[in-house]
Amino acid sequence: MKIADIIKRLALGAFVGCFIVSLIEVLIALQSGPQVVSFSGYDVINAFFGSIVIGWAFSLSGFVYDNDWPLPFQVIFQMAIGLTVLFAVAIYLTWMPLNLGISIILEWILISVIFAVIFWLGFYIYYYLEAKDINQKLE
C-alpha cells in the first residue's frame, strides 16, 4: 500500500462524499420546493465535513479489494464499515431523525443502502470495463 494510493482514495472519497451530499440536498430542495428550503451555515459545514468522513470510510475500506478474499465477503466488509460510519455521523449530526419513529429511521437506512449499492455498482462497472480494456490491449 503506497502513500499515493491512500491520498488518491482519500481525494476520491472526499469528492464522492461531497457529491452525494450535494445531490441529496438538491433532491430535498426539489421535493420540498426550493423557495421553502434553507440550509444554515452550520448545516452546510456539517454536511461538508460529514460527507468527507463518510467518503473516506467507504474509499479506505475499499482496500479490502486488494486481498484475495471472495468478492461477497469484500463487499460485505466494505459496506459494513462505510454504513457504520455513515450511521454514526448521521446520528451525531442529527441527519437521521431518531425522534420521528422507527418507520422514518428504516426509510432513511433503506435510502442510504440504495445509494451505497448504486455507487458501488457504478464503481464496479467502471473498474470492470477498465480491466477489460487493459486485457484487450495486452492481447
Residues contacting 63, CB < 8 A, separation 6+: 1, 9
Which pLDDT does position 101 carry in this prediction? Answer: 84
What pLDDT score does 81 carry? Answer: 94
Phi-psi region of 130 (alpha: psi -120 to 50; beta: other; left: phi over 0): alpha
> Which three cell numbers, joined as nine digits, stand for 129?
470495463
Question: What is the value of pTM for the model shown?
Answer: 0.82
pLDDT in the model for residue 46: 92
Number of domains making up the chain: 1
> What's the CA gap between 109 and 119, in Å, rounded?
15
Q: Which residue range(s) make up the domain with 102? A: 3-138
Low-confidence ranges of the chain (pLDDT < 50): none
